[in-house]
Amino acid sequence: MTGLRDSGVNPKLAVILVGEDPASVLYSRSIEKSCGAAGVEFVLFAMPEKSSEDDVIALLQRLNTDDSIHGIMIELPLPPAMNKQKVLQAVSPLKDVDGVHPVNRGYILSNGEGLFPTTPQSCIEIMVRNGIEINGKHAVLVGRGETVGKPLIFMMLNQNATVTVCHTRTRDLPGHTRLADILISAVGKAGIITADMIKPGAVVIDAGINSVPGGGICGDVDFVNVEKVAGVISPVPGGVGSITTSLILKNVIKAIALQQNENKGGK
Ligand code: NAP
């Protein structure tokens, strides 16, 4: 960040939190902490649960045109009464550090210079950091949700994996998962991935987050038993979720570059 500051840019991230969803409150705190450690200015806009869509969009429009703000992130889920798509479309694609705007979603398909969502990015980053080859591997994704599974389809294709996608209508889920060199679960059901569904030696990445009765979180994978069959496995907590905040910061830096590029183009 020092280089950026030397050139007169003080990176600043705005996070919008509507309501008090406990996981979102914790995530905001963890982003604030990471920003503090990295020297990125952090500003939280906490709005009441009963705020209207128009209130959030008005704030977004203000932040979109504020040159001191380089990244904007909206904590999800939004209150059920809000039109999520309408709100997400109001974020400037150049400041959209969680990769939720349709323009950035489109860039995933074309592998273009956009801002990509951090949780699917994190699934890939874990493999890259651990020297796991993705190129040419058969990746089986369980879950096609908008946040994780769906963007991952194209992000894994961009890494030259051969991709199979499973969901609730998939017939014979274990038959598919057993063929996976890389199995990524993004479902949100504790224990849905069991040891008998894993090819021995496979890479297992668990993006699921589930509450554990009595406190804490766990993933989708039966970690204790799958660990005995898998070659590599990412834990929950301490796996996919643990690097998303650092990827948000990486996206802030990328956003600054995109904004500078846009400004140059406009002159
Ligand atoms: P989502 O939109 O709820 O999607 C869940 C997906 O799982 C759907 O595609 C659904 O299939 C599929 N599914 C449900 N039950 C299934 C079953 N029995 N067999 C096969 N597929 C099944 O979820 P999301 O928002 O993408 O999130 C996925 C998980 O990632 C959640 O646990 C979420 O908490 C977690 N997450 C983690 C992070 C992190 O930082 N680590 C961040 C965001 C989300 P259909 O499409 O057919 O319904």
CA 201: distance to chain centroid?
Answer: 26
Above 80 in pLDDT, residue 6? Answer: no
The two tokens of residue 187 are 């479902």
Q: How many domains does the chain have?
A: 2
Domain assignment present for residue 248? The answer is: no
Give the residue, out of 146, 168, 172, 184, with the most ligand 1 atoms within 8 A of its beta carbon, to mutate for a pocket test. 168
What is the pTM (predicted TM-score) of this model? Answer: 0.94
**Coil, strand or helix: which one is 138?**
strand
Domain assignment present for residue 104? The answer is: no
Above 90 in pLDDT, residue 146? Answer: yes
The 8-class DSSP code of residue 262 comes to H
Average per-residue pLDDT in the chain? Answer: 95
> What is the Å distance from ligand 1's center to 11 Cα?
32
Strand partners, 167: none
pLDDT of residue 260: 93
**Coil, strand or helix: which one is 202?**
coil
Q: Do residue 68 and residue 168 come from a single domain?
A: no
128 is in which domain, residue-wise? Answer: 118-236
Contacts of 234 (CB under 8 A, 6+ apart): 126, 204, 205, 206, 240
Q: Do residue 204 and residue 126 come from a single domain?
A: yes
pLDDT of residue 3: 74
User: Length of the chain in residues, anyone?
Assistant: 267
Summarised one tens digit per residue, pLDDT across range 102-125 is: 999 999 999 999 999 999 999 999
Q: Do residue 149 and residue 82 come from a single domain?
A: no
Contacts of 131 (CB under 8 A, 6+ apart): none
**Coil, strand or helix: which one is 230?**
coil
> What is the Å distance from ligand 1's center to 151 Cα?
12
Strand partners, 13: 42, 71
Above 90 in pLDDT, residue 265? Answer: no
Closest CA to 95 of 65, 123, 124: 65
Q: Do residue 143 and residue 191 come from a single domain?
A: yes
Above 90 in pLDDT, residue 156? Answer: yes
Place 36 in a pLDDT band, splitting at 50, 70 and 90.
very high
Q: Which of 57-61, 154-158, 199-203, 209-213 has the lowest mean pLDDT?
A: 209-213
Domain assignment present for residue 108? The answer is: no
Whose C-alpha lies nearest to ligand 1, atom 4? 145
Report the alpha-carbon distance of residue 25 to residue 8 in Å, rounded: 31
Looking from the CA of residue 148, the nearest atom of ligand 1 is 26
Above 50 in pLDDT, residue 267? Answer: no
- Over range 199-213, report the average pLDDT: 96
Above 70 in pLDDT, residue 90? Answer: yes
Report the alpha-carbon distance of residue 19 to residue 142 in Å, rounded: 30
Whose C-alpha lies nearest to ligand 1, atom 3? 145
Domain assignment present for residue 252? The answer is: no
Report the alpha-carbon distance of residue 59 to residue 202 in Å, rounded: 46
Give the residue, out of 122, 167, 245, with the most ligand 1 atoms within 8 A of its beta carbon, to mutate for a pocket test. 167
Report the alpha-carbon distance of residue 28 to residue 46 in Å, rounded: 10
- Over range 124-143, report the average pLDDT: 98
Closest CA to 77 of 9, 146, 152: 146
CATH number for 162:
3.40.50.720
Q: Do residue 183 and residue 216 come from a single domain?
A: yes
> What is the Å distance from ligand 1's center to 173 Cα?
15
Tell me how crowded residue 127 is: count the other CB atoms within 10 A of its CB.
22
Ligand 1 neighbours (beta carbon < 6 A): 119, 142-149, 166-170, 173, 186-189, 192, 207-209, 240-241, 244
Above 60 in pLDDT, residue 266? Answer: no
Domain assignment present for residue 84? The answer is: yes
Which strands make up the sheet holding 162-166, listed edge to edge?
162-166, 138-142, 182-185, 203-206, 232-233
Report the alpha-carbon distance of residue 76 to residue 117 in Å, rounded: 13
> What is the Å distance from ligand 1's center to 19 Cα?
22
pLDDT of residue 23: 87
Domain assignment present for residue 82? The answer is: yes
